[in-house]
Amino acid sequence: MAILVMDGFDVYNDITDLISSPGWTSTNGNPVQAQGGSLPRTGGAFGGAAVQFGTSSVAYPLQRQCPFDYDKTYVASFYFKTTGFPTTTYPLCGVYTSSGTRLFGLFITNTATISVSDQTSNFSAAAASVLTANSFYHIEVKFKLGTAANTGTLEIRVGGTVIYTLTGLNLFNASPASGFRIFNPATGVIGCWYDDLVILDSTGDANNDYLGGIRIDTIRPNADTAQANFALTSGASGYALINDAFGSADTTGYIESYTVGAKSEFELSNLVGGSNGIMAVQPRIRATKSDAGSRTYRGYLKSGAVAANGPTITPAIGWLWHTNGIFEKAPDTEDAWTDNGINALKLGLEVVS
């Protein structure tokens, strides 16, 4: 698999819901919302939800856990918008070790450019006026950390244009490289937004290099199927209990099962407006365990007659959004996804133990 992380931020109720989800954290143990963070339902790159930071300290970024091998090449991409530029340089994003050491960082300067640092050196900003205020830019960072000091490489694109190509960087560290951070702005900047985060590596035969500008769309259940083992807390339609409006997922209506092997499957809404190519599909399921003892489940996609299972997940007591696998090819054809294939797709879940 090449795509390791994809998040369009649409499914979460709020910033606390995001931080609580497996894979995300607010570093230093401080709640990001106390540092000006929020998750508005509109204002993203394509009109949907996005992570928004307000005027505050840069000390408490959001981190997406993602183990990075020092000998592999990765691309991290996202959309970014800022309302203005600081009087001094402030962090934009970076890769960090498990002990909190920054291996490299991108920074926004007071001249609206992006500058870079590794563990020992700062590099002058690229061409002036790369960014303008109040516009979204698609930023891609391609990097290889390297297995020894001064062997790392880094290339940065903004809107598809290369603004940096750096080699011989000091990106190696004895501690594991474990996370990708995004930052709230420096004091004096009214706010900034991040949307549609994707992290991929160079393995596999698809999605293993720059993807260019992408959009992460969310489609939801819109009908039950004959495969319906899970019990309903109310009503006669399971899908109606699990397709809450974005930002308002509740805990009063849901489907449930305590039976190993129980499955329920759901039809999904069609893509809106079609696509120019579909890179991957990622099931997201919000789940909880309601009693003591061990319980596991898995989500899966059903394409035609073929089901592709996601990882087995051990839910905690408390509703959390889980990532139930990333599927880069249609299970029934083993070819790239098509619009028709997505529109015929079913989402399933199964009690494993």
Residue whose C-alpha is closest to residue 283's, from 316, 313, 254, 250: 313
**Strand, coil or helix: what is 239?**
helix
Residue 341 scores a pLDDT above 60: yes
Architecture of the CATH domain 3-201: Sandwich (2.60)
Tokens of 322: 């889980």
Instruction: Please report which confidence band the pLDDT of residue 61 belongs to, taking 50, 70 and 90 as the band edges.
Output: confident
Residue 237 scores a pLDDT above 90: yes
Beta bridge partners of 168: none
Residue 57 scores a pLDDT above 60: no
* Tokens 């516009």 found at: 135
159-175 burial: b if 16+ Cβ within 10 Å, else e: eeeebbebeebbbbbee
Residue whose C-alpha is closest to residue 227's, from 242, 243, 238: 238
* pLDDT tens column, 79-128: 999 988 888 888 899 999 999 999 999 998 888 889 999 999 998 766 65
Burial of 291 (0-12, 13-18, 19+ CB in 10 A): exposed
Residue 36 scores a pLDDT above 70: no
Q: What does pTM read for this prediction?
A: 0.95
* pLDDT tens column, 184-195: 766 557 788 999
* pLDDT tens column, 210-228: 999 999 999 999 999 999 9
